Copies of this chain bind each other. A is one copy, B any other.
Amino acid sequence: MDNWLNRVRVVLCRPEGALNVGAVCRAMKSMGLRELYLVSPLPFDNDEVFKMAIHARDIYENAVVTDSLEEALGDTALSAGITRRRGAKRKWFSILPEELAEKSAALESGITALVFGNERTGLDDNELNLCNIACHIPTSPEFPSLNLSHAVQIVTSVFYRKSIGEHTGAYNPITREELDNLVQVIHDSLDAMNYFKAADRFHTDRYF
Contacts and interface: CB of A to CB of B under 8 A. Distances in A.
A145 B26 contact: yes
A52 B148 CA distance: 12
A26, A138, A149: which has the most chain B beta carbons within 10 Å?
A: A138
B168 A55 contact: no
A169 B64 CA distance: 36
B55 A138 contact: no
A65 interface: no
Most buried by B among A96, A153, A164: A153
A31 B139 contact: yes
A172 to B, nearest CB: 15
A164 B150 contact: no
Interface residues of A, number: 37
21 contacts: A26-B146, A26-B147, A26-B150, A27-B147, A29-B142, A29-B143, A30-B146, A31-B139, A32-B142, A52-B147, A54-B145, A55-B143, A96-B167, A138-B157, A138-B161, A138-B164, A138-B168, A149-B150, A150-B150, A153-B153, A154-B157
Given A26-B145, A150-B153, A154-B157, 14 more contacts: A23-B147, A26-B146, A26-B150, A31-B140, A55-B143, A55-B145, A89-B206, A96-B168, A138-B161, A139-B160, A146-B153, A150-B150, A153-B154, A154-B154
